[in-house]
Amino acid sequence: MNYIVDSVDSALKLLSHVAEHPGQGVTELANQLGINKSRAYRMLCTLELHRFVVQDTRASTYALGPQAFVIGVAAAQQNTLVRSAQKHMLVLNQAINENVVLRVREGLETVCVARCESTHEMRTIGAVGNRRSLNSGASGKILLAFAPDAVKTEYFVRLKKLPQPPDLLKLVDELDAIARKGYAVSVGEVTVGAVAISVPIRDVSGEAVAAVSVSGPEMRISRIEIPDYLDRLQACSRTISAELGYTAPQMNPLPA
């Protein structure tokens, strides 16, 4: 039996689309969601009444409203992963003064769910809620390398359909290497001149539920500094994972 309420389903899809694509008008939103323009307008009016969206009357476009912020703050406070991670991310951020970012996989994308910003004038810019294609940047590579096989297969099928698909064998080898090492490093992949180092966070099941990363300009995070940043990042990840109930497997001692 289907218990989905169509009107609520449509309104939530519309709200999510506004969150990901602010500054669009009714016509654009209706066309991109494949719904009737008048229906889209009525839903926007309802969401605006409850302050989930606000309209820029000069441009007739929509963005998230204050109630969406209230929900977002409450979600961050109630989410065990974010609540556990943020305090340890902040400690790392204050120790190295570089961006520390937490991303999770949602479908075939990654979403930023927490950030601690560097105070340096030169730094990479991002925001909570930012989305990227899976495998984009060091965090994406971590989340794809440790994803279930079904997710990898689905992602590879999507890549094959691109006009200029990447070398999949090379990508598979890269992901296998990341899974063996337990970390990923990207240089200039998302932002020119930026370096990112990422490691997985695991929960009680042992699954990689998130990726935590450090990022900054190459002039501050050179190859010489990477091992130190990686050690600090791995320590941060171990602490967060332990709070989520993960117990690392014990290594069998070598025979005498």
Looking at the structure of the chain, the number of domains it has is 2
Residue 45 inside a domain? The answer is yes
Same domain, 86 and 175: yes
Q: Model confidence at 144, in pLDDT bands (50, 70, 90)? A: very high
Q: What is the pLDDT of residue 2?
A: 80
Q: What is the pLDDT of residue 166?
A: 87
Which residues 6+ apart lie within 8 Å of 198 measured at CB?
137, 138, 139, 141, 142, 183, 184, 185, 186, 211, 212, 213, 214, 233
The overall average pLDDT reported for the chain is: 91
- In the chain, beta strands by DSSP E: 53-56, 61-64, 99-106, 109-116, 131-133, 184-187, 194-202, 208-217
Same domain, 22 and 140: no
Same domain, 127 and 30: no
Same domain, 108 and 207: yes
pTM of the predicted structure, to 2 decimals: 0.76
Same domain, 214 and 105: yes
CATH number for the domain harbouring residue 165: 3.30.450.40
Q: What is the pLDDT of residue 191?
A: 85
Residue 254 inside a domain? The answer is no
Question: In this prediction, what percent of the chain has a pLDDT beyond 70?
Answer: 96
Same domain, 93 and 163: yes
Same domain, 33 and 88: no
Res 78 pLDDT > 70: no
Same domain, 138 and 239: yes
Q: What is the pLDDT of residue 193?
A: 86
Residue 251 inside a domain? The answer is no
Q: Model confidence at 254, in pLDDT bands (50, 70, 90)? A: low
> What range defines the domain where residue 111 resides?
79-243
Q: Which residues pair with 215 in a beta bridge?
A: 99, 196
Res 96 pLDDT > 80: yes
φ/ψ of 175, rounded to 5, equals -65, -40
Residue 58 inside a domain? The answer is yes
- In 156-243, beta strands by DSSP E: 184-187, 194-202, 208-217
Res 255 pLDDT > 70: no
pLDDT tens-place string over residues 32-73: 999 999 999 999 999 999 999 999 989 999 999 999 888 877
Q: Model confidence at 222, in pLDDT bands (50, 70, 90)? A: confident
